[in-house]
Amino acid sequence: MTAGPGLAAAGQDGSGFDPLIAERRYLSPGLALAHRFAGGGAWEVSSAGAWVTLSDGRRLLDFGSYGVCLLGHRHPAVVAAVSEQLHRLPASTRSLASEPAPRLAERLTGYFAPGPLRRCWFGLNGADAVELALKLARASTGRPRVIAATGAFHGKTLGALSVTWHPRYRGLVEDYLPPATHVDPGDLARLERELSAGDVAALILEPVQGEGGVVPVPPDVVIAWGELAARHGAHFIADEIQAGLYRAGAMSLAHEFGAPLSAVLLGKALGGGVAPISAVIGTEELFAPLLRDPFWHSMTFGGHPLSAAAALGALDALDALPGREARAAAVAGLLAELAAEHPGMIKEVRGRGFMWGIELRSARQAGSLLAELPLAGLVVSPCLGQPEVIRLLPPAILSDDELGTARARLRAALQAAYTESAPEGALV
């Protein structure tokens, strides 16, 4: 008998365990429903390269994973680095030094040398990095307020949430968030007015907004944010947790543009799709409170040996990846082609490198496309704060064949979604 959606409930090990049922019962009914919808009743059981295999035997091409799998799944260099560390020193006493985190700090600061970004700190999630950057900015300037961009997403812990824009996430706790102001990234006059109040510790900006709808910020605006911050004694923090590490074409776009920087934040793909890790790479001035007292901010698992080893393996693999730019150009070409073929569905495709948004003409069309894509065999990430936009975060290791498969699957899903979401009678 072949495995099919009906068999999914039997579990992989024959135990009858169904993660969707357990998820609904013990974790979250809403999340279980979303997962059931995306997997058609099946769940992910294994992965390799650009592919994820489901419990019913289907294989989906992964253009999602919220930006983590830039190197695909189980990249050999990352798996080897983590395995080696796992069998030697998987956990740190933390009372003693170990190799991986200092090596990684040396490696990461090297991308920004010569220059003032000479200090590193490691967390696990992106929000950890945002939290520390904002805490350092306030402590090093003695100023309370932070300015972020409208549409920004920086995470959901209280400090990070204070600079995340969408009311959906801020709701219920708005009153408990540290002081922050959101301004349109292109409204430099307003930015300057806010800075003139003299109470701003930092500006924080995503050079390409991700969750907010994949919106690349023009290089001159990124530079202007950095220059205005510097002129008014505030820090400029580039949040490249999603767009950095070559996802959007550069290790750090803000650095490549030449913006004056106090910190670059990295996360997501930094762990090579295998382990969780995030980083703040910053100036001595920003890090001053932590340089005075190293225990002023720490986390039990920050700089974990397995995570740092994964990051070192990932950086080796990314730096050695041949044809990255040509592959990114092929992804851009494919999306332009599909947009030209489906003007009734696609309003715009935008992005850079391996980070793209397809903006549909309505949220309803986006919903239909989101439903059709996994059926056609492609995993993507929605933009929770911008429902008309679907995020495509393909791995940089795609082969030409896989790119061809992605084209065929996207085309099939667009066609099905168009038929499904068109107003009645429109297609006759």
For position 275 contacting ligand PLP by CB under 6 A, the verdict is no
Q: Which stretch binds ligand PLP (CB under 6 A): 132-140, 203-211, 379-387, 400-408?
A: 203-211
Q: Are 309 and 270 in contact (CB under 8 A)?
A: no
Nearer to ligand PLP, 239 or 359 (CB): 239
Token digits of residue 415: 């066609």
Contact window for ligand PLP (CB under 6 A) among 57-65, 206-214, 279-287, 316-324: 206-214
CB of 245 to ligand PLP, least distance (A): 12
Residue by residue, what is the 3-state secondary structure of 244-279? CCCCCCCCCHHHHHCCCCCEEEECHHHHCCCCCCEE
360-383 residues labelled b (16+ CB within 10 A) or e (exposed)? bbeebbbbbbbbbbbebbbbbbbb
Contact pattern for ligand PLP over residues 208 through 227, marking x by CB under 6 A: --xx----------------
Q: In angstroms, what is the minimal distance from the CB of 68 to ligand PLP? A: 9
**Would you say 240 and 209 are in contact if contact means Cβ atoms under 8 Å apart?**
no
3-state secondary structure 95-119: CCCCCHHHHHHHHHHHCCCCCCCCE
Contact between 205 and ligand PLP by CB under 6 A: the answer reads no
Q: Considering beta carbons, is residue 126 or 185 the nearer one to ligand PLP?
A: 126
153 binding ligand PLP? (CB under 6 A): yes
Distance CA 206, CA 225 (A): 11
Q: Is 131 in the site for ligand PLP (CB under 6 A)?
A: no
Q: Should residue 266 be labelled a site residue for ligand PLP when binding is judged by CB under 6 A?
A: no
**In this chain, which of 54, 108, 127, 355 binds ligand PLP, going by CB under 6 A?**
127
Closest CB 259 distance from ligand PLP, rounded Å: 16
Closest approach of ligand PLP to the CB of residue 213, in Å: 12
Q: 3-class SS at 404?
A: helix
Site size for ligand PLP, by CB under 6 A? Answer: 15
Only one of the segments 34-42, 98-106, 150-158, 337-345 lies at the binding site for ligand PLP (rule: CB under 6 A); that segment is: 150-158
In the complex, the smallest distance separating the C-beta of residue 129 from ligand PLP, rounded to whole angstroms, is 7
Please name the residues in contact with 221: beta carbons below 8 A apart, sequence gap of 6 or more: 185, 186, 188
Number of Cβ within 10 Å of residue 408's Cβ equals 13
DSSP 49: B
Q: Binding residue for ligand PLP (CB under 6 A) from 35, 119, 154, 409?
A: 154
**Choices 45-53, 153-161, 193-201, 301-309 (CB under 6 A): range interacting with ligand PLP:** 153-161
Return the exposure string of 92-111: e unless at least 16 CB atoms fall within 10 Å of the residue's CB, then b. beeeeebebbeebbebbbeb
Query: Does the protein bind ligand PLP through residue 307 (CB under 6 A)?
Result: no
Q: Which of residues 323-382 bind ligand PLP (CB under 6 A)?
A: none
Binding site for ligand PLP (CB under 6 A): 66, 125-127, 130, 153-155, 206, 210-211, 239, 241-242, 267
